[in-house]
Amino acid sequence: MAAATGGRGRPELVRARKRLGMTQVEAAEALLVTPTTVSRWERGTQEIRPVYRARMAAVFGVSAEQIERWLESTEPVDTELWPWPDFTDMSLASTVKSAERLWRSELDLQRRHMLAALPFVPDVLNGWISAWSYGSSMDSTANQGTGRAVGLSDVQRIEEMRQRFTQIDYVYGGGLVRPAVVDYLNTTVAPLLRGTYDDKVGAALLTAAAEMTLFAGWTAFDIERHGQAQHYYGQALKLAKAADNPLAGARVLSTMAHQAIHLNKPEQAILLARAAVEAGRRGQASPQAMALLLVREARATALKTNPAKSGDRHAAKQIARLLVEAERAHAQGARDGDPQWVHAFDEPELAAQAGIILHLVGDDDRAAERLEHSVQAFATYRPRSSHLNRVNAAEAYLSRGELEQALDHARAATSGATTLTSPRLVEHIKRFDKRLKPYETSIRVREFRAYLDHVVAV
């Protein structure tokens, strides 16, 4: 048992927590104790029982032996264990090194498990937004490296690979494609970043690396590894900052807002979504790109204010304004120079997002109509999106009191989950299942829950 230290403190334990960006309250929540207990542990005024030492190892993603060394303050914390992006050093060498360290971490079994177990840390987001908005970019993106000469054709191949990975993700889920994406970052993108290139190629290469890193984070998000996804999103934001590419940064910030929405963190979601809109305007984003960013802000606002329950008319008008602005912008169509992710925000995706927002506002008739459209449209080329929106439609129908229609959609989505490696879809279905409590005596609800239990068990 780690004994109390007579009040001299355990500085390495404090550094370990802060290096993860966790407050004492967040650490206490993760360790299943009170914040007062965490404070006493760090001050060295309270002993730490073995059961909590084991929990620390799980939360911090390190061995029990490492935890013991921290508690006894016998050696400094190995900061390499946590590949958070460091926005205080925006040199090309630092940017490339921190990204490579993250990608390489997944090749080591212990660090891979550590990354997978990391918690989502809301407190780091304000610093990242500030660094993105106000931090200085590099003077040059050129590099005289040890690797071969890199050209725009190399950058184009990265984008082509990302599109291929994206298609696999759409059809089979993030769990299947993720190992290939991480391997590609390590074996192809990293050597290119260490190569020789001029400013034009460097900016394009850093942008492509940002987008592939963002996609790796997305696959972690889809398998419900949110701390891991957050690490990748942060690295993608730093790469976009290094490339001085506001549009790429807007894409990253919007995706981070989507994660915050999924995790029911409305305060962070709004900050990220608004930062994304600001970055999009600064980067003179096309109308269709702005449509995506505005829809994300509308959804974050709807999550925070929830007019369907709160009756907040002012918020409802604000959300409606954002949604109308987004739909008008989207109607102008894509432009030739738009990146692929803008083209991916097509009409069915807009309908899906609008449906979710309308449900939060309380307009379930229009919500169900939009979501039904997206379900059918996505069925042929994005089955995971189709099933996710079946669950969204089920929630809209349930709010309308149409239990059978809701269960039909939920059961179809549950069946679809058996063909996908997408724990996010399963989690979405489970959230819907919790809303069935008022109807739990219904035979159809009991049948659905039995089927869901079977699918989850398999």
Q: What is the pLDDT of residues 177-228, one digit of tens each?
A: 999 999 999 999 999 999 999 999 999 999 999 999 999 999 999 999 999 9
105 and 76 within one domain: no
Long-range contacts of 189-194 (CB under 8 A, 24+ apart): 189/103, 189/158, 190/96, 190/99, 190/100, 190/103, 190/104, 191/147, 192/147, 192/150, 192/154, 192/158, 193/96, 193/99, 193/100, 193/143, 193/145, 194/96, 194/143, 194/145, 194/146, 194/147
**How far is Cα 83 from Cα 200, in angstroms, rounded to an integer?**
28
429 and 385 within one domain: yes
> How does pLDDT run across 3-47, given as a tens digit for each residue?
565 556 788 788 778 766 678 888 888 888 998 899 888 888 888
Look at residue 255 and tell me if it is in a domain: no
202 and 87 within one domain: yes
Look at residue 254 and tell me if it is in a domain: no
Question: Is there a contact between 178 and 216 (Cβ–Cβ < 8 Å)?
Answer: yes
138 and 127 within one domain: yes
- Domain tally for the chain? 4
Mean pLDDT of the chain: 91
89 and 76 within one domain: no
> How does pLDDT run across 132-168, given as a tens digit for each residue?
999 888 889 999 988 899 999 999 999 999 999 999 9
381 and 433 within one domain: yes
Mean pLDDT score, 390-394:
98
- Of the candidates 180, 212, 244, which is a domain's last residue? 244
425 and 402 within one domain: yes
- Of the candidates 339, 367, 397, which is a domain's last residue? 339
Mean pLDDT score, 283-304:
96
32 and 91 within one domain: no
- Type and span of the H or E element at 99: helix 92-105
**How far is Cα 50 from Cα 65, in angstroms, rounded to an integer?**
12
Look at residue 259 and tell me if it is in a domain: no
- Residue 328: pLDDT above 50? yes
126 and 236 within one domain: yes
Mean pLDDT score, 273-301:
96
Give the residue numbers spanning the domain of 405: 346-458
Look at residue 219 and tell me if it is in a domain: yes
pLDDT of res. 77: 45
268 and 185 within one domain: no
**How far is Cα 456 from Cα 429, in angstroms, rounded to an integer?**
10
- For the chain, give the percent of residues with pLDDT over 70: 95
> How does pLDDT run across 58-99, given as a tens digit for each residue?
777 677 777 887 777 544 444 444 567 778 888 999 899 999
- Residue 1: pLDDT above 60? no
The SS3 assignment for 143 reads: strand
- Residue 283: pLDDT above 70? yes
99 and 222 within one domain: yes
